[in-house]
Structure 1
């Protein structure tokens, strides 16, 4: 079997890899993934793990190539000796591509699931398949093979009697939970990363992001996030352009928002429907739209007694669904309700502070007491961010404890917990002001303060802090490496030093927080921007900064994440669509509260309420018909599907 050659990059020819190592049997390979064990790991455990990684697939091994990284220290400092480089032969990767259901372009132009036996009929497969798989795809395949390493008849990890194992238990997960395995991460390719950085964020330009190149380097999941971020920002430009003159027109008259509310509810719906079409087009071109997983593998963190899966015919952990449901409804749900009650109490304290600030201003009107009117909203905005952060950790702990079998189920329950609390925590006060107090002046002030304060905090945490940490880390690393490298540039670092630099980088935890931030910004704009039209302007400015800061972090702050072959934005699509439905109801309610509308029903609030409800029902029904009649479930026009 031949070692994996350097793959092809997107439109840039062959990637020249300067690093090659050899396996214990002398087979040379390009290192793609790094395994770092604790420095004091038992030798018996190391030998056992390496043997399982190298063992044949039919024997329950991963059949990968692995070799220890030598000379891990730099500048006279002694590094961790238990760092291992993982690669693979090309044939093993091609078989792995079939196992994970990778889609590639067929000779007739269609996208089909790759099969090794039919490999010569795929368009980009030439000779022995050199360059057929991207580096990101190779790293994803290696991760899949490592994750599917399961214990056989071992009772515990060799050398660690307390690290219990049972047949079917994930080896990698057990080693990580016992702090034997510190981290697993894919290596960056410095030359390809340099080209990506230059075309992505190093020059300010009025053009679209290089989504195909991002996808090629980081995978479809991250490329779809940046595609959504770009699409969302462009979709808000009309809102921002209309919002500026609208704000200047009625900045002293808070009741002239009816037209903007009508535009708002139409925009929030059209934007999401258009995004589904764009997302489907991207996924089709990348070969993930039709990708199917025959059977989703159990999560690495899923545990239970060993049982038999009647579908796959394999042994795997089994956990009673009834016990999981008891944990959800007797523990998780009451905890979420308790947190919502706590958020409600904090909201009422905020309103008491607003009353106090207003009374102080009315008692002695001045510039300084006028500033105090904004203090309660600023404090409340900071408290909201802190509560959201604390609740996030609690939600992750509870979802882990519920022991979901599939990663998709785990993500759905986690997203639901986080969204319910974040929605209530961020928007409950605005709903109370709008529909209970019916104070549009306070609503505009609160929305502006919450939005501006949250964006300032997010920019500090997501842009300035990572940039400062990266500069500090680079200076420290260059001081350590100066004696060993004699002034060589970072891109010319030897492999051991490059691995050490990447091992010290922060770990990217996925797109969850990024989508959550955009979800909340979408809520601020779609729900109440009619009373504060500058909301869209602020979000556009925030997202432009977000594109560049996120791109910089992905390239130079975080370790390279493993590719995620996603076909859409997942459960977040449903979350945004739910928010758009709430936005329709909210904007119709605000229209009903407008003095211009109330003037048509001076003697009957009942008629006004019935009219607003009818408009909401008709609009929602029309939206449902449009979705069912024009689109299939993936967002593609039915005509193209039939064709």
Structure 2
């Protein structure tokens, strides 16, 4: 892993930042063409980057891929790339502003040549952007591959990736920086918060926001857990008193989400992504269609009729999702049959073993749910890919929607059935506890132990080789062996599964924790282990991901807010079913329903009022953003006035 984090590329040697691995059988003509385009000047349509081919390393006896290349850039090229991307950095007056080379000396951290001004993650992100935007000019096909067509404006790297010519592209780790981050993140026992700024500096804003949300969610659960423990210990069979807990739950799930938006806005402003303009989205690598002209950019690219895509969504994807929900419903009914059988066996002859038998159906059902979720996830990815969405954001939104609908139904349908059809609160508590505990055990196994075990098996030969090399050459791992070792590490697939897990845990706590108050305690314990297991995987199991300059948690914010609305309805219904509440409406069940609906609407109104009362962005940040916008407008006016005066002088 690389020494240091500074980049000094003024000379012929450079610090390698990004690795490109092409197929071992890639044509020499293709490699020469790609390397030429990467090195060529920008005015000629190149990326103006530096490239070196990775050598064979110390041992040449083992089979290796010779087509691995290291990509870097001169320092001036990185600075111009930062300006092109509009990276925000701290200005001399303390505000966050878009970086420009003309004003580089006015930025707070720019000292000397500015060789420590950009973090390694930012440098790697700049190089990725330059490679992604490397476009075909007059080529009709990839040299050496006549069947792989190209046309003007097509992203070369994306095309090579979609055809399997470019196997992978990943940023390199930094040994010393990673060692420091590992120590402050998970290696030392501490009660302090996570080093979010260090995580952002090394992995980027997207990763830092996920870990920030995980930490925030964990601390937000503490009041619910502290209240839940005495409820669980002293009122085990008294469901009437859980009315107070349910009301507290309603307020809690609304307030924490609103406060999170303020907290994330503060983080995003400090990191310079809050007011950063979103870059124009390029077509996905897998997007295909008839060649035409983009009406916005004027470039040639595939065009696919939106009507055809909508037909695929509504005539194929939607029926498939409904079929999966029906199958999930059938599995749920089988679970209730098993539950009834176990209960009848226990009632006939109550023993210790029949008591254990009562929990077996719930455990089996929890395992089946996890398996169904996994199978459905692959099917959802295949369908969403088949729908042929042009943009990555559209692809992600459709995938998230499919996965969330199925996971929500699969995980919570049985609990809704028990609560509102069977109205068996004892079984509801037992099922919730079993589902929650079993899913957490399975998740910890799948996310912590299994990836580590698989990675150890995969790298067993490589680790022996590394030890041999260190014995021969000293303690430091040579660059060639480091690159090949990282190339065999697992690829990090993003925060999708992590946010999905937190979404389901939030559902367990906000929907039904009033009947099982210990749920919040279990989720807190799960989140603590999640922080350490995720941190370990990021540092030692996965390749380093490219930085993701996010300003918030995206579509997941809407997903959590939707869950909180459902929680209001669920908790109001549970309150209405409480025997303590029913005593006030002995004469008319209709009145009870009407009062429950009325209270639910009042609470929903209160929830939506809170969203307006609590600003998403803190006041002091709003003032800074408004001041920056005002200064930009004033500067634009002065520029126009100067241009007008120059024009009048020239006319005279």
Q: More deviation in 181-190 or 151-160?
A: 151-160
Rounded to whole Å, the distance in 1 between the matches of 2:289 and 2:135 is: 14
Corresponding residue number in structure 1 for 2:126: 141
Corresponding residue number in structure 2 for 1:599: 583
Rounded to whole Å, the distance in 2 between the matches of 1:434 and 1:628 is: 33
Rounded to whole Å, the distance in 2 between the matches of 1:100 and 1:636 is: 26
Q: More deviation in 472-481 or 551-560?
A: 472-481
Q: More deviation in 528-537 or 37-46?
A: 37-46
Report the 3-state secondary structure (helix = DSSP H, G, I; strand = E; otherwise coil) of the residue aligned with 1:112: strand
Q: 2:438 aligns with which of 441, 453, 464?
A: 453
Rounded to whole Å, the distance in 1 between the matches of 2:613 and 2:255 is: 15
Cα distance change, pair 334–138 in 1 and its aligned pair in 2 (3 A): same
Cα distance change, pair 221–313 in 1 and its aligned pair in 2 (3 A): same
Cα distance change, pair 331–57 in 1 and its aligned pair in 2 (3 A): farther
Corresponding residue number in structure 2 for 1:11: none
Rounded to whole Å, the distance in 2 between the matches of 1:406 and 1:603 is: 58
| 1:322 Cα offset (Å) | 1.6
For residues 187-226 of structure 1, the aligned pairs below 5 Å read: 187-226=172-211
Does the 8 A contact of 1:134 with 1:216 survive in 2? yes
Rounded to whole Å, the distance in 2 between the matches of 1:189 and 1:197 is: 12
Q: 1:518 aligns with which of 502, 520, 525?
A: 502
Q: 2:389 aligns with which of 404, 414, 418?
A: 404
Rounded to whole Å, the distance in 2 between the matches of 1:86 and 1:256 is: 64
Report the 3-state secondary structure (helix = DSSP H, G, I; strand = E; otherwise coil) of the residue aligned with 1:355: helix
Corresponding residue number in structure 1 for 2:469: 484
Consecutive unaligned residues in structure 2, runs of 5 or more: 628-652
Q: More deviation in 241-250 or 447-456?
A: 241-250
Answering whether residue 247 of structure 2 is matched by residue 262 of structure 1, we say: yes
Corresponding residue number in structure 1 for 2:93: 108
Does the 8 A contact of 1:65 with 1:88 survive in 2? yes
C-alpha deviations, 1:258-313, integer Å up to 9, x for none? Answer: 11111111111111111111111000000000011252333233233333334334
Answering whether residue 159 of structure 2 is matched by residue 177 of structure 1, we say: no
Rounded to whole Å, the distance in 2 between the matches of 1:488 and 1:271 is: 54
Rounded to whole Å, the distance in 1 between the matches of 2:243 and 2:542 is: 45
Report the 3-state secondary structure (helix = DSSP H, G, I; strand = E; otherwise coil) of the residue aligned with 1:251: coil
For residues 297-336 of structure 1, the aligned pairs below 5 Å read: 297-336=282-321
Cα distance change, pair 518–294 in 1 and its aligned pair in 2 (3 A): closer
Rounded to whole Å, the distance in 2 between the matches of 1:339 and 1:166 is: 41
Corresponding residue number in structure 1 for 2:339: 354
Report the 3-state secondary structure (helix = DSSP H, G, I; strand = E; otherwise coil) of the residue aligned with 2:158: helix
Corresponding residue number in structure 2 for 1:538: 522
C-alpha deviations, 1:565-608, integer Å up to 9, x for none? Answer: 00000000000000001011100110000000001000111111
Cα distance change, pair 83–72 in 1 and its aligned pair in 2 (3 A): farther
Does the 8 A contact of 2:266 with 2:618 survive in 1? no
For residues 386-535 of structure 1, the aligned pairs below 5 Å read: 386-472=371-457, 475-486=460-471, 492-535=476-519
Q: 1:50 aligns with which of 26, 35, 42?
A: 35
Answering whether residue 366 of structure 2 is matched by residue 366 of structure 1, we say: no
Report the 3-state secondary structure (helix = DSSP H, G, I; strand = E; otherwise coil) of the residue aligned with 2:46: coil
Rounded to whole Å, the distance in 1 between the matches of 2:229 and 2:15 is: 55
Q: 1:156 aligns with which of 141, 145, 155?
A: 141
| 1:223 Cα offset (Å) | 0.2
Give the structure-1-normalised TM-score. 0.93
Rounded to whole Å, the distance in 2 between the matches of 1:161 and 1:255 is: 74
Rounded to whole Å, the distance in 2 between the matches of 1:396 and 1:489 is: 46
| 1:638 Cα offset (Å) | 6.3
Cα distance change, pair 15–165 in 1 and its aligned pair in 2 (3 A): closer
Answering whether residue 56 of structure 2 is matched by residue 71 of structure 1, we say: yes
Cα distance change, pair 627–641 in 1 and its aligned pair in 2 (3 A): farther
Answering whether residue 553 of structure 2 is matched by residue 569 of structure 1, we say: yes
C-alpha deviations, 1:377-420, integer Å up to 9, x for none? Answer: 11110111011111111111111122222222221111111101
Corresponding residue number in structure 1 for 2:535: 551
Corresponding residue number in structure 2 for 1:90: 75
| 1:93 Cα offset (Å) | 1.4
Answering whether residue 599 of structure 2 is matched by residue 615 of structure 1, we say: yes
| 1:375 Cα offset (Å) | 1.0
Cα distance change, pair 354–635 in 1 and its aligned pair in 2 (3 A): farther
Report the 3-state secondary structure (helix = DSSP H, G, I; strand = E; otherwise coil) of the residue aligned with 1:201: helix
Q: 1:383 aligns with which of 368, 384, 391?
A: 368
Does the 8 A contact of 2:89 with 2:272 survive in 1? yes
| 1:120 Cα offset (Å) | 2.5
Rounded to whole Å, the distance in 2 between the matches of 1:31 and 1:205 is: 35
Cα distance change, pair 632–240 in 1 and its aligned pair in 2 (3 A): closer
Does the 8 A contact of 2:9 with 2:73 survive in 1? no
Cα distance change, pair 544–51 in 1 and its aligned pair in 2 (3 A): same
Rounded to whole Å, the distance in 1 between the matches of 2:626 and 2:85 is: 27
Cα distance change, pair 84–551 in 1 and its aligned pair in 2 (3 A): same
Aligned pairs, number:
626
Rounded to whole Å, the distance in 2 between the matches of 1:30 and 1:438 is: 65
Report the 3-state secondary structure (helix = DSSP H, G, I; strand = E; otherwise coil) of the residue aligned with 1:478: helix
Q: More deviation in 254-263 or 243-252?
A: 254-263
Corresponding residue number in structure 1 for 2:110: 125
| 1:156 Cα offset (Å) | 2.5
Report the 3-state secondary structure (helix = DSSP H, G, I; strand = E; otherwise coil) of the residue aligned with 2:21: strand
Does the 8 A contact of 1:470 with 1:556 survive in 2? no
Rounded to whole Å, the distance in 2 between the matches of 1:637 and 1:266 is: 26
Q: More deviation in 611-620 or 229-238?
A: 611-620
Report the 3-state secondary structure (helix = DSSP H, G, I; strand = E; otherwise coil) of the residue aligned with 1:104: strand
Rounded to whole Å, the distance in 2 between the matches of 1:28 and 1:642 is: 44
Corresponding residue number in structure 1 for 2:23: 38
Consecutive unaligned residues in structure 1, runs of 5 or more: 1-5, 8-13
Corresponding residue number in structure 2 for 1:628: 612
Cα distance change, pair 134–376 in 1 and its aligned pair in 2 (3 A): same
Corresponding residue number in structure 2 for 1:585: 569
Rounded to whole Å, the distance in 2 between the matches of 1:164 and 1:596 is: 72
Corresponding residue number in structure 2 for 1:3: none
Does the 8 A contact of 1:168 with 1:306 survive in 2? no
Does the 8 A contact of 2:258 with 2:614 survive in 1? no
Rounded to whole Å, the distance in 2 between the matches of 1:214 and 1:632 is: 24
Corresponding residue number in structure 2 for 1:10: none
